[in-house]
Structure 1
Amino acid sequence: MRKVKTFFALFSLSILLTLALSALQVNPLHAATESASWLMAQEQTNNRSFEEIVKNSQKKEGLFTLYHNQETGKVHLELSPEQLQKNYLCFISLESGIGEGGIFRGLDLNEFLFQWRRQNNKVQLVVPNINFRTQPNDPQSRSVNRSVSDSVLYSLPILSTHPERQSILIDLTNVITSDRDLSNLANSFSKFLGSRYSIDSEKSYVYQVKSFPLNIEIESVFGFSENSGSRGRTLSSLPDSRAFNLNVRYSFIEVPTENSYRPRLADERVGFFTSAYKDLSNSTGRSPFVRYINRWNLQKQDPNSPLSPPIKPIVFWIENTVPLEYREAITEGVLMWNEAFEKAGYQDAIQVKQMPDDAPWDPADVRYNTIRWSTSFQPWFNGYGPSHVNPLTGQILDADIVIESNAVAKFYEGVGFLIDNNEGNNSQQNSSSQMNRNPCNLGRLSLAATSAANVNLSHDISSEHLCFGFESNRQLAMGAMAMSLFDGVNENSPKIQDYVHQYLRFLTAHEVGHTLGLRHNFHGSTLLSPEQLNDTNITHNLGLVGSVMDYVPVNLAPKGEPQGDYFPIIIGPYDRWAIEYGYTPTTANTLYAEEQFLKDIAQKSGEPELSFATDEDLWGVFLDPAANVFDLSNNMLQYSEWQLDNAIAMWDRLESRSPRAGEGYYQIRRMFETIFGYYQNHAENIVLYIGGQSFNRNRIGDPNGRLPFEPIPVIQQREALATLQKYVFSEEAFQFSPQLLNKLAPSRWQDWGNPDANSSLEYRIGDRILRLQKSILEEILAPTRLVRLRDLEFKTAPNNSLTMPELFEALQNSIWTEVLQPEEGVEISGIRRSLQREHLNLLTKMVLREVSVPEDALTLAWFQLKQLQEVLDKTLEKHNDGMNAYTLAHLEMTRDRIVKTLGAQLQTN
């Protein structure tokens, strides 16, 4: 009863207050303003003075005024009245790493647009909801404000108000050092850190504060300590795995308010990063989603000139940390893109400058775009090209490219001489054990798909800005080994220096492309035929690839053929076209008025040299063999077969090679294994043709436009299957001499500097061959691929598709040749017995419904086992006395397993 009385009392009081204000003709909003002023006065009275709080603090003036007290560790932020309700950008990155586990310097942790909003005696850090927008003066804006929510990340008490400036002071320390900091650091690496580590507040502090006209930079150190009772693996890069530090950089940037930048609409046929929102005012029937491409604000000095310098060019500064010998290659990689900008009407749109050793400016200043040099113990990338973008418009504000020193260092590390015992030539190799841990060799569609090299991070490590990596290192090593083993080139040769120069120039061009707004184009490698790849008259004018935004392998000519460029030395046709779309100026007055101009450019996508496929067309899909990584040419079947032959030739050359006097054999082991990984990569590329389909992004009405899906011609699918039978499943594959296999010894140093420290002493060649064969066999019989083969019978003309019966029969004939086509005295080698067991395992799992495959696949597997049982019965009866113990036991057990499988009682739903 008391609560009811209180309610009516308050209600009556509010009515009386309203009547009183009305009688006095006082605006309630004005009254609220007066009340806020009264609160401000109370704050000044009740709190310590502004100057007292910031006493002994170092003042940093710039975008915001910061006060850093190095004794207490406090960081205070001063906000002027005009800085409230204003848009700012926050970009958070990892400024230091631990050198392994994917925790490396330069990784983006978070980015968002935010505002400072005052609520009573507190200031809130608010992330406004910009995903839903309306046009100006649209009444729906009121509905949007009530239908969707902003995100209030922090509510910070106002400590004091400056008596003259009327600016307010807040404590920013906990926002940038606690376990609930802006970066959400602990959760970012939760899968890697698990419950083993947590942030130790006693070890966390603000390291440095920098303030510039357009941005502020704050770097915090987070101390991580091992939790009590936790035990985990030793981290080789740390002196003691119980604790480590991570530095986090917070960048606050003002959102430009100038009107000279015009957003540009995106088109899915051209691969730009985008900034998207839903336009609730759109009532035209077209998609309500608006997508702007991410691009720089380039404007001509002379708008009427067909070729004009920009008013403000894009300038990249090579940081003074970059080794002298690599600066020229990096410069050339950046400037590659000026050719494309000339087509868009700009002269010298991109410039490169060298940061002096005594530079008066700081690379952290957002006014400078830098190319930085990073060193990690076990990096997961060779290049990293992020940019900072205004999500409201898509305007790129700045970019800082990171080149990982291991892109080159891992190439030279451990390079030694291998002496040709017959010819006395020198050679070299890449000793990095990481080459054989490739996150891009994904196991693709197989039942036992290998995850991305044990990636255990919760954040998106597969970001398009993280490029190349382990497989790129292997490709780089393969090119060097080819030069060494085939041509006797040593590590001091100018040819090797030119080779590294060519790679680093290409890597830089790829990362610069990302900072210009371009996404990956995994179709770019299909520009030329295999025969054209080494014709420099073509590659120096048209390009080696359609786009440097692809993950391009080393281009190795077939053994005995002239070698052309190892890596692209110019950008490709797609790159020029994409820049034309993104940056060519128009005279259109509105966003949609230039839409037809852009469509005229985009509809050229049907031209083969402009083919485009990006990350979502590849990862987890692997439908189109042309949309792939580390492939080359428009006939990958031919090119991959060349590379399989190159690998075999390299193995043969290793037969006659030895380390130089006084060195161990570990380099031969690493070279041998690197070639194995290369061999497997090309075998996996061939698998993609089986059940594959071409996919393109053409639209109705495009010249040269095609249907979105086109099945791979059956003749190519059969050719792919035959190639795999020859190079992977046949008895003739993987023939190594005892001489070579007995050289494969690891390095025996027992410390963290030896990548072989935890490897087995002997090289288990049988396991290694089986691992490759098993992977390829599982790829071929993966449930997703079997579904595609089933569906292709509906999507192609009769008798024009590779059917599941044909596939099952071809595999059985290839893998069980010894019993299906027996000769006198049946004898099956150890490699073949292991392969046959794996094939039996896969068919058995299908029949027992342990995997989900189409019903037709299940019945075919049953039929194949039934046929095999009948053949085994005859073979064992006829050739029993002519078999060795291995073969007899193998076939007897195989028959027994088949009988039990076919007679098993199955549970069905």
Structure 2
Amino acid sequence: MNKWIVCSLTLLWILPTVLSVEASGRKKKKGKEEMKVELSKYDKLFKGKRSETVRGGFVTVHKVDGKVYLEYPLKYMGRELLLAAASTASTDNTVCTNGYKENTPMHIRFTLEDSTVQMRKVNAVIAAKSTGVRMDRIMEQNFGDPIMAKYKVLAYSPDSTAVVFDMTGIFLDEEAALSPVPKGSGLMEVTKSLNKDLSSIREVKAFEDNMSVKSQLVYKYSVTYNKARVVTDQPLTVLATRSLLLLPERKMPPRLSDRRIGVFLTSKQYVSDQGEPTERYTYANRWWLEPSDVEAYRRGELTEPVKPIVFYVDTLFPEAWKQPIREGILKWNRAFEKIGFKNVMQVREFPKNDPAFDPDNLKYSCVRYVPTGVANAMGPSWVDPTTGEILNASVLVYNNVIQMLRNWRFVQTAQIDPTVRNKDLPEALINESLAYVIAHEIGHCLGLMHNMSASAAYPVDSLRSASFTREYGTTPSIMDYARFNYVAQPEDRGVRLTPPDLGVYDEFVIHWLYSPVYGVSSIWEEAKILETWVDEKTGENPMLRYGRQQIAGRYDPTALEEDLGDDAMKAGDYGIKNLKYILSHLDEWITDDPEVTSRRALYVQMINQYYRYIRNVMYNIGGIYLSDAKEGTVSERYRPVEREIQKASVVWVMNQLRDCEWLDNQVLLKKFPLGIMSSPVVVEAVGKQLMTAARRVALAASLADEPYTTEEYFDDLYRGIWSSAIENRKLTTGDMILQRLLLEQLNEQMRKIGGNRIGLTSGDPDVLLDELYAPSVLDAECYGVDKLVLTTSFGSGYGWQRPLDVANIDESATYYFEMVLRIIDLLESKMKSFDAEDLPHYEAMLFAMKQMVGKQAQIK
């Protein structure tokens, strides 16, 4: 028995060991089986590849072997997004402006269908005026969001809460709307081709509500200007930043616009479910300002906003510029304080060592330095298209802006301010002028458009008053193009020479745009209250009038760039008197200029300034005052310029053109490089516009109770251009140029009506309309409208009044023919009394006139 006990004990000792060995064998076998288990689709995307992953509160971004994978949460499917592109660095900043978004950010959303992610363009223009199941079905069936692209779902995240898809192409310039290279502007056209082999993804970032991708894009580009190739297949490398921003679900309540207030607009089209006509509306673009303490705000206490407007200032600016830039931004706090908000505008420098900061990300509004030879600045902004909420804005300040300010200050104020009579402006004036430019551009960033009617609210002589200008400056709005006080005369003491920090109009717009309205249940109810604010103010105060900038059709002489006061002729007289004074001293004031480059540059600016004075008066001829008046108010929507003013303007312009040889200062011209004298250039430019203004006169006459008729205009042209012959006085250079120009115009008109056959048609109306109503090349240069012509999407006000076809009411062909006969009679009757030196000119004129009407060319 003891033996069995021993055997049993032995077995009990051996058995666990055997079992342990057997289990170990099974574990090894099982481990081999586990190694054979396939990786998930998610893991396969990254296994054995060079990968970098960044995770934010919004999306996760993977950079894998040069590709960009978005790990997009399912909970954000259908949410609205903005996708924007900007140039961060480039090898040619004349093509790419770093920090500028060449295209409006794409308004998109992603949807998931089966195994495909669809990128859809949000149809934000169409909106429903009512709610309900029926309206939802109407909108869904008729105004859905179109698909722009689709992406195959490559995998689900391990927890199945997100899908992964490849978006590399959109970051390597496959989407034209995200290209950092502009298509061109104005007469310039840029074409490009991407070298995909040399392009690459450089960096990915992810944050709480956005993500960004930086791509190095390598191109060959060409440029044509006015259809002529000027650059061919040049290399261009651009570091582009694309940022994807998640728009908040809680939307800013939109504010319906009022056409009497000059703000940037977001267009809407409302659809009714009751069979009512489709309505078009616009929202005013604005930042979302909410008081952090509503009760305190409603008690009238100054209250900080929930979210201030913060601008980051580029560290690349010259150190001396940073303080005036800061001052220009903070000027607007004064207007916000008047409506109960404090510390709305805030300024910070680009933060150092902050990986979350990126000036090219949609999250940050910045003031950027652009080191190019452009003498300008601009202030674009970008909005949530569903509400008009401004989400991002930029101020771009070009390097040569100081040169622009120096030119303005010298040409417009050197007659009264000895401190500007140098090659360079004193530091104090640079700071003052730069702060003004920045404040103007920040106004755009806050939603304000140009107000070109503002300066017309001031009587011209008030601009010579020290007390008036100290209180009001040169214009009621900093958003006008009223620069410095060119009306002030050398003897005027204590007169302010600069625009206001902010005018009364600017403060009123901030009040209308940003004041909260409580106790209303809809935007329509709010709009009625806001309308009463405008009714109460604009009718009684001309300083609050808004005049949209005119580009495509220029009719209103009170809504022009670069003008001052309510009387262009009087302001021009003062300005020209000052120009003559400045020109007579230019050579002695500007010293240390051995190459004469500074004096020549200022001389050119003076010629441009003189041209502005004349063009400002020219717009009176055939002019029509335009108003966005509300029906039922005293103001009219349009009213022709008074007959007396039009007639006097013709005489004023003629007098200038006959007496502008003072521009040809021989002391200066002999020091300049070889060139043509300035007076003939100005006479020719203005003379051509005089010749073609008859259609404007015809339109204005058709609308007037006491018209300045086409017949009277032609009579004034005849008497003005041929006054030398009528009065038997010596010809001036201006006389001869005007007479030759008239001859060319008459010849062209006679050719169009059939050569020797007399007809009564006016030729090609479209060609003439282009000449009549669009700014000339010289206008673009002198008025600074070239940039505005190029930025056609900058605001709904630009180009708002299109040229009108007035061919059916234009009888100018009749009067052109009649003028030929009058000139022939005049020259034949006066030929024997002309001065011997003038006789060959008149003989040539008479010969040409007779040729036009088919008579035998004889000199009596």
TM-score band by shorter chain is 0.7 to 0.9
Which amino acid counterpart does residue 538 of structure 2 have in structure 1? S
Give the match for residue 842 of structure 2: 891
| Residue number among 271, 278, 283 corresponding to 2:269 in the alignment | 278
Q: 2:246 aligns with which of 254, 257, 268?
A: 254
2:342 to 340, 347, 359: 347
* Residues 430-449 of structure 1, C-alpha deviations (whole Å, 9 max, x = no match): 6xxxxxxxxxxxxxxxxxxx
For residues 664-723 of structure 1, the C-alpha deviation after alignment (integer angstroms, 9 at most, x for no partner) is 223332222121111111211110111112111121344xx3111122222322332222
Structure 2 Cα separation of the partners of residues 352 and 165 of structure 1: 43
Question: In the TM superposition, what are the counterparts of 1:785-864 in structure 2 within 5 Å?
Answer: 785-797=693-705, 800-823=706-729, 828-849=731-752, 850=763, 852=765, 855-864=810-819
Q: Deviations over 1:290-313 (max 9, x none)?
A: 432222221221243213312332
Aligned residue identity for 2:627: N
Cα separation, 2, equivalents of 1:658 and 1:140: 71
In 1, distance between residues paired with 2:164 and 2:618? 63
Contact 1:99 1:378 in 2 (8 A): no
Aligned with residue 73 of structure 2, among 80, 92, 101: 80
Task: Pick from 359, 377, 380 the counterpart of residue 386 of structure 1.
Answer: 380
- Please, which of 700, 712, 730 is the counterpart of residue 631 of structure 2? 700
Corresponding position of 1:651:
583
Change (3 A) 1:508 1:534: farther
Query: 2: distance between equivalents of 1:629 and 1:584?
Result: 30
Is 1:475 the counterpart of 2:408 in the alignment? yes
Amino acid at match of 1:581: W
Do the aligned partners of residues 534 and 217 (structure 1) sit closer, same or farther apart at CA in structure 2, a change above 3 Å counting? farther
1:267/1:735 Cα in 2 relative to 1: closer, same or farther (>3 Å)?
closer
Secondary structure of 2:178's partner?
A: coil
Distance 1:691 1:591 in 2: 41
Matches within 5 A, 1:729-744: 730-731=658-659, 733-734=661-662, 736-744=664-672
Quote the offset at 1:855 in angstroms. 4.6
Q: CA deviation at 1:123?
A: 1.6
Give, in whole Å, the separation in 2 of the partners of 1:627 and 1:227: 38
User: 3-state DSSP class of the match of 1:883?
Assistant: coil
Residues 814 and 276 of structure 1, relative CA distance in 2, 3 Å threshold: closer
Partner of 2:88: 95
CA deviations on 1:609-650 (whole Å, 9 max, x unpaired) are 1100223xx112211111111111222322122112222222
Kept after mapping to 2: 8 A contact 1:175/1:181? no
Residues 1:786 and 1:585: Cα distance change in structure 2 (over 3 Å): same
The range that moved more, 509-518 or 60-69, is 60-69
Equivalent pair of 1:265/1:291 in contact (CA under 8 Å): yes
> Equivalences for 1:445-464 in 2 at 5 Å?
none
Contact in 2 for aligned 1:50/1:162 (Cα 8 Å)? no
**What is the aligned partner in structure 2 of residue 447 from structure 1?**
none
Q: Relative to structure 1, is the Cα distance of residues 680 and 601 closer, same or farther in structure 2, using a 3 angstrom cutoff?
A: same
Cα distance per residue 1:806-846 (max 9 Å; x no partner): 322222222223322225xxx64555323321121122223
Shift of 1:285: 5.7
Aligned to 2:461: 531
Q: 1:89/1:197 Cα in 2 relative to 1: closer, same or farther (>3 Å)?
A: closer
Residues 193-204 of structure 1 mapped to structure 2, 5 A cutoff: 197-204=192-199
**Inter-partner Cα distance in structure 2 for 1:621 and 1:182:** 29
Aligned mate of 1:178, from 154, 173, 176: 173
CA distance in 1 between partners of 2:473 and 2:463 (Å): 9
Aligned match for 1:674, one of 605, 622, 625: 605
Distance 1:778 1:575, change over 3 A: same
Q: Which amino acid aligns with 1:894?
A: M
Aligned partners of 2:88 and 2:99 also within 8 Å: yes
- Offset of 1:547 from its aligned partner? 1.4
- Equivalent residue of 2:531, what SS? helix
Distance 1:476 1:198, change over 3 A: farther
Whether 2:529 is the aligned partner of 1:597: answer yes
Partner of 2:500: 569
- CA distance, structure 2, for counterparts of residue 133 and residue 196 of structure 1: 37
In structure 2, C-alpha distance between the alignment counterparts of 1:713 and 1:191, rounded to whole Å: 35
Q: Name the counterpart of 1:112.
A: 106
Distance 2:631 2:223 in 1: 63
Structure 1 contact 212–365 (Cα < 8 Å) conserved? no
Structure 1, residues 403-429: CA drift from partner, whole Å, max 9, x if none? 223212666xxxxxxxxxxxxxxxxxx
| Alignment correspondent of 1:38 | none
Q: Secondary structure at the match of 1:79?
A: strand
Partner of 1:33: none
Normalising by structure 1, report the TM-score.
0.76
Match of 2:652 among 723, 728, 735: 723
Provide the secondary structure at the position in 1 that maps to 2:103: strand
- CA shift for structure 1 position 857: 1.2
Please give the secondary structure, in 2, of the residue aligned with 1:836.
helix
Q: Does 1:504 align with 2:499?
A: no
* Equivalent in the alignment of 1:400: 394
In 2, are the aligned partners of 1:186 and 1:199 still within 8 Å (CA)? no
The CA deviation at 1:357 is: 4.8
Q: Distance in 2 between matches of 1:284 and 1:547?
A: 43
Count of residues in Structure 1 that have an aligned counterpart in Structure 2: 756
Report the CA distance between 1:355 and its aligned residue: 4.2
Letter aligned with residue 408 of structure 1: I
Q: Is the 8 A contact 1:307 1:347 kept in 2?
A: no
Q: Distance in 2 between matches of 1:660 and 1:346?
A: 50
The equivalent position to 1:713 in structure 2, one of 642, 649, 656, is: 642
Contact kept, 8 Å, 2:373 with 2:398, in 1: the verdict is no
Equivalent residue for 1:749? none
Counterparts of 1:539 and 1:327 in 2: how far apart (Å)?
Answer: 28
Give yes or no for contact 2:109–2:121 (8 Å, CA) kept in 1. Answer: yes
Distance between the aligned counterparts of 2:813 and 2:96, measured in 1? 41
TM-score, normalised to structure 2, is 0.80
Query: Aligned in 2, Cα 1:676/1:232: closer, same or farther, shift over 3 Å?
Result: same
Give the 3 Å change call, closer, same or farther, for CA 543–106 of structure 1 in structure 2. Answer: same
Root-mean-square deviation (Å): 3.3
Q: Tell me the alpha carbon deviations over residues 3-37 of structure 1, each in whole angstroms, 9 at most, x when there is no partner.
A: xxxxxxxxxxxxxxxxxxxxxxxxxxxxxxxxxxx
AA aligned to 2:86 is: S
Q: Which residue is equivalent to 1:212?
A: 207
Residues 871-891 of structure 1 show CA distances to partners (whole Å, capped at 9, x for unaligned) of 222333454xx523xx44432
Q: Give the secondary-structure state (helix, strand or coil) at the position aligned to 1:57.
A: strand
Cα deviation, residue 500, structure 1: 1.7
Measure how far apart 1:184 and its partner are.
Answer: 4.7
Please give the secondary structure, in 2, of the residue aligned with 1:585.
coil
Contact 1:505 1:569 in 2 (8 A): no
Q: CA deviation at 1:858?
A: 1.1
- For residue 679 of structure 2, the aligned residue among 744, 758, 769 is 769
For residues 808 and 82 of structure 1, what CA distance do their matches in structure 2 show? Answer: 72
- Is this contact kept in 1: 2:265–2:282, CA < 8 A? yes
DSSP-derived class of the 1:133 partner: strand
- Give the secondary structure class of the aligned counterpart of 1:652: helix
Tell me how far apart the structure 2 counterparts of residues 656 and 335 of structure 1 sit (CA, whole Å).
Answer: 39
Aligned equivalent of 2:545:
611
* TM superposition shift of 1:79: 0.8
1:121 corresponds to which residue? 115
Unpaired segments of 5 or more residues in structure 2? 1-37, 753-762, 766-806, 856-860
Aligned to 1:688: 619
Letter in 1 for 2:569: L
Structure 1 equivalent of residue 126 of structure 2: 132
The one-letter code of the counterpart of 1:128 is: V
Distance in 2 between the 1:229 and 1:716 partners? 43
The alpha-carbon deviation at position 487 of structure 1 amounts to: 6.0
Q: Separation in 1 of the partners of 2:170 and 2:522?
A: 41
